[in-house]
Amino acid sequence: MAITIPPLKRSDFLTGQPLVDGSEVYGDATYAVTNPATRETLANVASLGATQTHRAIESNSRAFIDWRKRPAQERAGLLHDWLTLVRHYRQDLGLLITAEQGKPLAEALGEVDYAASFIQWFAEEARRVYGEVIPASANRRIVLIRQPIGVVGAITPWNFPAAMITRKVAPALAAGCTITLKPSEFTPLTAFALAKLALEAGIPPGVFNVVCGDAPAIGSTLTSHPYVTKFTFTGSTAVGKLLTAQCATTLKRVSMELGGNAPLLVFDDADLEPAVEGAVASKFRNTGQTCVCANRILVQSGIHDRFVEALAARVSAFQVGNGLEGATDQGPLIAASALAKVRDHVADAVAQGAHLVTGGKRHEAGELFFQPTVLTEANPTMRLADEETFGPVAPVFRFETEAEALALANATRSGLAAYAFTRDIDRAWRVVEGLETGMVGLNNGIVSTETAPFGGIKESGLGREGSRHGIQEFLEMKTISLGVR
């Protein structure tokens, strides 16, 4: 087995396995985790199913009895200890992320910092779970307390192998919940390493379990088991809808972070350079594989040609290659099906009249690499207008008026993120208020930070993650009606 990854301080991170109740778990079968840049096998990991997931949930349920009673300060301290270990092994975690997911190492290290920021934030928020006293009547007072919701089931995707995990696990643990997580089968090693570090930090066995393998079997157990009271998912809209339906029979509280189809609007009065940099930051982060990546770039006709020229110059200068080697800007796509979708979107657009400014083909760096691409003359009948491309393709749509841009931007069932570039403050407000999304980047291509609520409207999801609101997803309110004589 050839593993071309630099030596890790913790070589055991490369042989990690699912972790339940403080112990590694082995199933009847294993499967290979591969490096998408080289297609080499990185590790063989246990493939688990419903039986082990039942055990994981039962161990969560036992661990909950003690964990929920720990003073918030103690839980906060343990989260801080976990944070210290995550920071200590930053380089190892970054290398693991690049090896199993493909993003350039600098981006992977940025992801470790982003993942750590959620642990820090929610370690702090653990101590700020306040109740309320509500005036009722002369002989009655109402007191509201907030308590952990219980055992949590979580499923996360491959595009942020660390951050999507800590964004769920840290607030759950801070609130006093216990959790069983199923990471993506593409990227389990980072998840196993994070769970191991949590255990080493002193977070008790059974508080944070990781299972992985047969996604539908694990998913249907997590969404139907009566002990699980909260289910949280990040992934595609289709799978999110299926899992939400599965949760209905036991009426679990559900959070969903689903797909987007982000528009990025550039008005004639925008400053060119920040608009181009914002488009690059939003579109090409993680090689276009994030749910907040600009999927449609809408540019007003007065600035259109200058914008396209500057964007194409930036994009054609990207270094494409293995994220572990040199100063790479763009890595591989995650799988052959992802590459096929990107190729099909480009072919469909070109067949319908789009003009290829740069890129458009598979890249010679390897089987799963695609050339960073800019297209113009995109229109709403093309597949890339309606579906998330999830790859390094920037389609530019031309528009004339603000009303036309807003109508185009909102012509989708998705409503996660949008971006707008303008110097006109009146227009900025009109556009921000008119965009049907949960988040707007105004003169800014980045919306993600642990301090701000992250989430979508329409078919992009339910609930919010991060910020002071994120912990509420893991808390129940209890009303106490107090008689006063």
34 binds ligand ADP (CB under 6 A): no
Q: Which stretch binds ligand ADP (CB under 6 A): 18-26, 115-123, 212-220, 373-381?
A: 212-220
Q: Site map for ligand ADP, 103-142, x if CB under 6 A?
A: ----------------------------------------
157 binds ligand ADP (CB under 6 A): yes
Among 21, 24, 124, 185, contact with ligand ADP (rule: CB under 6 A)? 185
Known catalytic residue: 257?
yes
E strands, 149-293, in order:
151-155, 178-182, 208-210, 228-234, 253-257, 262-266
161 binds ligand ADP (CB under 6 A): no
Q: How far apart are alpha carbons 347 and 345 in whole angstroms?
A: 6
Specify the residue, 71 or 216, whose C-beta has the smaller distance to ligand ADP: 216
- Sorted by sequence, the CB contacts under 8 Å of residue 425 that are 6+ apart come out as none
Please tell me the total number of residues recorded for the chain in this structure. Answer: 485
Q: How far apart are alpha carbons 386 and 394 in whole angstroms?
A: 14
C-alpha neighbours within 13 Å on the C-beta side of residue 259: 18
Specify the residue, 236 or 443, whose C-beta has the smaller distance to ligand ADP: 236
235 binds ligand ADP (CB under 6 A): yes
Q: Which stretch binds ligand ADP (CB under 6 A): 154-162, 164-172, 247-255, 309-317?
A: 154-162
- Residue 178 sits at φ, ψ, to 5 deg, of -115, 160
Does residue 41 sit in helix, strand or coil? strand
Q: Which of 114, 107, 105 is nearest to 86 (CA)?
A: 114
Specify the residue, 234 or 330, whose C-beta has the smaller distance to ligand ADP: 234
Within 10 angstroms of residue 212's Cβ, the number of other Cβ atoms is 29
Shortest distance in whole angstroms from residue 247 CB to ligand ADP: 11
Place of tokens 């389990």: 188
Active site residue: 125, 257, 388, 436, which one? 257
* Structure tokens given for 342: 């990107």
45 binds ligand ADP (CB under 6 A): no
In the structure, how many helices (H) and strands (E) does the chain have? Answer: 15, 22
Specify the residue, 219 or 415, whose C-beta has the smaller distance to ligand ADP: 219
216 binds ligand ADP (CB under 6 A): yes
Specify the residue, 156 or 448, whose C-beta has the smaller distance to ligand ADP: 156
User: For residue 39, which amino acid is it?
Assistant: R
Conformation bin of residue 135: beta by default, left when phi > 0, alpha when psi is -120 to 50: beta
Q: Which stretch binds ligand ADP (CB under 6 A): 25-33, 41-49, 155-163, 370-378?
A: 155-163
Q: Which residue is nearest to ligand ADP (CB)?
A: 219
Q: What is the H or E stretch that residue 95 is in?
A: helix 90-101
Shortest distance in whole angstroms from residue 180 CB to ligand ADP: 13
Among 91, 236, 250, 379, contact with ligand ADP (rule: CB under 6 A)? 236
Among 42, 155, 312, 393, contact with ligand ADP (rule: CB under 6 A)? 155
224 binds ligand ADP (CB under 6 A): no
Specify the residue, 199 or 256, whose C-beta has the smaller distance to ligand ADP: 256
Taking each helix axis as running N to C, give the angle between helix 90-101 and helix 105-125, from 0 to 180 degrees, rounded to the nearest 10: 120
**C-beta separation of 410 from 262 below 8 A:** no
Shortest distance in whole angstroms from residue 187 CB to ligand ADP: 9
184 binds ligand ADP (CB under 6 A): yes
User: Which of positions 242-271 make contact with ligand ADP (CB under 6 A)?
Assistant: 242
User: For residue 424, which amino acid is it?
Assistant: D
Helix residue ranges per DSSP H, 176-271? 188-200, 215-224, 237-248
Strands 178-182 and 373-376: unpaired
Specify the residue, 31 or 90, whose C-beta has the smaller distance to ligand ADP: 31
**C-beta separation of 420 from 220 below 8 A:** no
Catalytic residues: 257
Residues lying near ligand ADP in the complex (CB under 6 A): 155-157, 182, 184-185, 215-216, 219, 235-236, 239, 242
